[in-house]
Structure 1
Amino acid sequence: MNPGPSVDPAVTDLLGLLAYAELGSFFRLTDDAALAPTLRDKGRLASLAAEEQRRYELLRERLVEYGADPEEAMEPFVEPLDSWHARTEPQSWVESLVKTYVGDGIAGDFYRKVAELADPGTGSLVETVLAEESRGAFISETVRAALEEDPALAGRLSLWARRLVGEALSQAQQVAVARPRLAALLAEDGGGDDAGIGDLAAVTRMFGSIADRHAARLKAMGLSD
């Protein structure tokens, strides 16, 4: 099954990347729910996991509409995303929550910026999939409560958040090198013969442009950069 002739292959790549990311988020939140210390936390995380599953299905359905095989579209991103998660294995439940909010959040900001350079329909879908209000409110509240109970956590979690940003940038660069047609969306003209192809500097500049969202997440959790 191949994408229809009117679909930009870079859009198929973007949707495949997001679909695998959402599928991974579902499994991680399910694991976090099992480890949560209270029934309330278990229930909230289970609800968030169900939301990730719903978003995965939206992306999968859009890929099918475009004539793409969802599994084939996701396959190129299995190794880089799995590698990112292996490099950022949290050491505690609270670290896992910070990773979900900060690490996945800043990666999502990057995907959102790329989607803005695609067609309006893709941009709208990506914005819906990457909405994080429910997740952000729960994690911010939970991390703040943990800091009130143990203020010494603040320094460690701030360092952890900084590391996650660096690893997210590394992940984005790896994907840009592996999928040049996706990186081509970073070109100002929408992608010429070589503009934006594997342009790691463009990836870095884009990360710099999403610093405000990152700072807002840290502030919401009571952490500093």
Structure 2
Amino acid sequence: MSEQATPSSAGGLGEREREGTIELLGVIAYGAISGFTRMAADSEMADDLALKRALAGMAVSEFHNHELLTDRIVELGGDPNAAMAPFRPAFDAYHARTRPRNLLEGLVKAYIGDGIATDFFLEISRYVADDSRVIIEQASTSHRDVDTIVTAVRAGIAEDPRRGGPLALWGRRLVGEALTQGQMVAAEREALSELVLGLSHDRPGATLHEVGELMQRLTDRHQLRMGRLGLSA
């Protein structure tokens, strides 16, 4: 183990907890850089100048959040590229399965699909040390101009109400794909699983009951988002 990665240089974390924390930061950091590229692409599809500027601004925020996360990985003695690499196939496969066909689908994906993925990893961040959790919370709650997205989607549906049904189906598909991806990622990474279960530190981990409550909270938030867009959950 390198001097950079010693527990003392990682805020007193044990080695296994440090590994799990870096894995969590890595998966969120890769999600942020993916969000940056996709939001920038969405801005290219927007004809409305105000919407184009808002989407471009959101893309910039995504990149700033990515930097916050990767800086924390370095502070913990990790390498950002190595931390993100294991998650690239899962994210890229998810985005390949859920590639938007138009701007409205892209906006719904940014709000619904990415929103529930963010919620999932925020829930998991409850089981990391405070200094890392603060970074995750900061990076996960400041990258979406929700009102702009909601207004644009609702305006698109008002312009052609026939869009509502397909967009509702799209939203339901996105939430299923995002939850499946999040659960697979958490289960496949051993150090991350140990972090959530409390096996790598002396803080309480998640119980089966708490996991059930977590899933219910994610479902409730999804329904609220769909309602804001005027879509049936």
| TM, length-normalised to structure 2 | 0.86
Give me the whole-angstrom Cα distance separating, in 1, the residues matched to 2:225 and 2:185.
Answer: 24
Instruction: Give me the identity figure in percent.
Output: 39
The CA deviation at 1:98 is: 0.4
Give me the whole-angstrom Cα distance separating, in 1, the residues matched to 2:90 and 2:212.
Answer: 17
Judged with a 3 Å threshold, the aligned counterparts in structure 2 of structure 1 residues 44 and 109 are, in CA distance, closer, same or farther, namely same
The one of 102, 118, 122 aligned to 2:128: 118
Give me the whole-angstrom Cα distance separating, in 1, the residues matched to 2:127 and 2:40.
Answer: 33
Q: Say whether the 8 Å CA contact 1:15–1:63 is kept in structure 2.
A: yes
Match of 1:224 in 2: 232
Match of 1:60 in 2: 70
1:49-91 deviation digits (Å, cap 9, x = unpaired): 0000110111111111111111011111111111111111111
Alignment RMSD: 2.5
Unaligned runs of 5+ in 2: none
The one of 208, 216, 221 aligned to 1:208: 216
Unaligned runs of 5+ in 1: none
Match of 2:57 in 1: 47
Give me the whole-angstrom Cα distance separating, in 2, the residues matched to 1:95 and 1:3.
Answer: 42
Q: Say whether the 8 Å CA contact 2:61–2:142 is kept in structure 1.
A: no
Q: Which residue type is aligned with residue 56 of structure 1? A: H
The CA deviation at 1:172 is: 1.5
Aligned residue pairs: how many? 221
Give me the whole-angstrom Cα distance separating, in 2, the residues matched to 1:200 and 1:161.
Answer: 27
Q: Which residues in structure 2 correspond to 1:1-225 (within 5 Å)?
A: 3-5=5-7, 6-7=12-13, 8=17, 9-132=19-142, 134-187=144-197, 190-191=198-199, 206-225=214-233
Higher relative contact order (CA 8 A, sep 6+): 2
| TM, length-normalised to structure 1 | 0.89
1:145-190 deviation digits (Å, cap 9, x = unpaired): 1111111111111111111111012201321232022123332xx1
Q: Which residue type is aligned with residue 76 of structure 1? A: P
Q: Say whether the 8 Å CA contact 1:23–1:52 is kept in structure 2.
A: yes
Is the deviation greater in 23-32 or in 177-186? 177-186
Q: Say whether the 8 Å CA contact 1:3–1:12 is kept in structure 2.
A: no
The CA deviation at 1:15 is: 0.5
